[in-house]
């Protein structure tokens, strides 16, 4: 996408609609490359002193001896109009304003995936713990990620009515570099928010962390004092029933925080998530066409669950569900699962695709 430092730091969201003029500025200062769309920083990359590039891509580096400019229409049949092209030479001895990556092993993984056009997208991020949108975008540019920023919508979780939500949406201007998501909370969310409100978001996701047990007890499984698991096997049967109902009846795009278990039984994860239970959830996701999140924060689902999901042909997303800027992280678990599962770009779900 426009704004990428191609095969090094890719941009995965179209920032400007088709058939609309925009300004595009590229600045190379020292070893730092920055791109700007309509004067907004899109990519920010500083080459490390020890540079790795895949075979056949060795020339994709800054050259002290100079280089060339090119205009490329990448896809057959594509049309691009451009005007007012200007070049301003800068001094060769300028210092690099950016900071190069310090973890060169991880940098190689990122560049390898960027070269393969693998969408490094985290669709489950929050502006929580005081984190600003600018801080989120700084983190995204650091690794060449694209984020989906989500707002919580549900009882005691954020916005609780159409009126509250629409008042917020009318005043909020999302960054063109991020997608905008509705995190639907609790099973009553469909009664609280209209289809028109939901359609103001790029996508909708939910989880099964709030539901009602057969005995009428409301479960909020991430809050210890509100969780009474009881018999783990009975709990699991009810949990799987609820998951199947949620993903087959609620109008969502992604099922997030998947396979989450309360702390008191999480040490039994592999025992409780039996093949039969995994198969039921995978079949429900397949039937509904809902994508399955690979969650970085909780490192779930397990590789065993994900292998069954991949074999069934499910689509995947990456998500962190951060609560602070520090917990946003760098998608280590998802990137590990790309290699372990042999995921390809076509296995991933993206908004609007």
Do 136 and 332 form a contact (C-beta atoms < 8 A)? no
> What torsion do the CA atoms of 336, 263, 284, 12 make, to the nearest 10 degrees?
-40
- Output phi, psi for 348, to 5 deg: -100, 145
- Reported as a single tens digit per residue, the pLDDT across 87-105 is 999 888 899 999 999 999 9
Rounded (10°) angle between helices 332-341 and 104-115? 60
| 231 and 321 inside one domain | yes
Percent of the chain with pLDDT over 70: 97
Do 302 and 269 form a contact (C-beta atoms < 8 A)? yes
**Please, what is the end-to-end C-alpha distance for the chain in angstroms?**
14
| 135 and 207 inside one domain | yes
Cα separation of 317 and 99, whole Å? 29
Number of domains composing the chain: 2
Average pLDDT of span 318-328? 93
Query: Tokens at residue 39, please?
Result: 């004067």
Cα separation of 279 and 277, whole Å? 5
Domain stops at, among 102, 134, 163: 102
Do 110 and 141 form a contact (C-beta atoms < 8 A)? no
| 92 and 127 inside one domain | no
Least confident segment among 2-6, 57-61, 223-227: 223-227
| 190 and 312 inside one domain | yes
- What is the per-residue pLDDT for 298? 95
Task: Give the CATH number, domain containing residue 146.
Answer: 3.20.20.140
Query: Tokens at residue 315, please?
Result: 């689509």
Record the pTM: 0.95
- What is the per-residue pLDDT for 223? 58
| 158 and 36 inside one domain | no
| 127 and 94 inside one domain | no
pLDDT band at residue 211 under the 50/70/90 scheme: confident
Q: Say yes or no to pLDDT of 220 above 80.
A: no
Cα separation of 282 and 312, whole Å? 7
Instruction: Report yes or no on 113 lying in a domain.
Output: no
| 85 and 207 inside one domain | no
Does the bond joining 301 to the residue before it have cis omega, within 30 degrees of 0? yes
Instruction: Report yes or no on 261 lying in a domain.
Output: yes
Cα separation of 8 and 101, whole Å? 12
**Enclosing domain of residue 42:** 1-102
Between strands 24-29 and 32-37, the pairing is: antiparallel
| 203 and 343 inside one domain | yes
| 273 and 190 inside one domain | yes
């Amino acid at each position: 996408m426009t704004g990428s430092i191609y095969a090094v730091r890719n941009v995965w969201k179209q920032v400007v609609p088709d058939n609309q003029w925009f300004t595009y500025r590229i600045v190379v200062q020292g070893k730092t490359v920055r791109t700007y769309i309509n004067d907004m920083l899109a990519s920010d990359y500083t080459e490390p002193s020890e540079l790795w590039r895949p075979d056949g891509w060795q020339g994709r580096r800054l050259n002290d001896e100079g280089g060339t400019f090119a205009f490329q229409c990448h896809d057959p049949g594509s049309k691009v109009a451009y005007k007012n092209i200007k070049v301003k030479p800068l001094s060769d001895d300028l210092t690099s304003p950016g900071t190069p990556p310090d973890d060169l092993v991880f940098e190689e993984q990122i560049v390898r995936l960027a070269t393969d056009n693998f969408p490094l997208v985290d669709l489950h991020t929050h502006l929580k713990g005081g984190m600003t949108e600018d801080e989120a975008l700084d983190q995204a540019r650091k690794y060449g990620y694209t984020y989906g920023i989500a707002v919580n919508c549900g009882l005691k979780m954020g916005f609780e009515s159409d009126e509250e939500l629409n008042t917020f949406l009318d005043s909020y201007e999302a960054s063109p570099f991020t997608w905008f998501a509705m995190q639907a909370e609790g099973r009553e969310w469909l009664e609280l928010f209209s289809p028109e409100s939901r359609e103001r978001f790029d996508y909708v996701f939910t989880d099964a962390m709030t539901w009602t047990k057969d005995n009428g007890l409301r479960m909020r499984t991430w809050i210890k004092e509100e969780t009474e698991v009881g018999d783990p096997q009975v709990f699991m049967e009810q949990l799987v029933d609820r998951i199947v109902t949620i993903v087959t009846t609620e109008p969502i795009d992604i099922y997030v925080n998947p396979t989450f278990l309360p702390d008191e039984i999480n040490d039994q994860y592999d025992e409780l998530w039996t093949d039969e239970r995994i198969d039921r959830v995978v079949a429900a996701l397949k039937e509904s066409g809902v994508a399955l999140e690979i969650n970085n924060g909780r490192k779930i689902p397990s590789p065993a669950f994900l292998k069954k999901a991949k074999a069934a042909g499910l689509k995947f997303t990456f998500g962190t569900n951060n609560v602070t800027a520090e917990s946003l992280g760098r998608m280590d678990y998802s990137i590990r699962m790309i290699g372990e599962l042999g995921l390809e770009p076509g296995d991933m779900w993206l908004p609007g695709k």
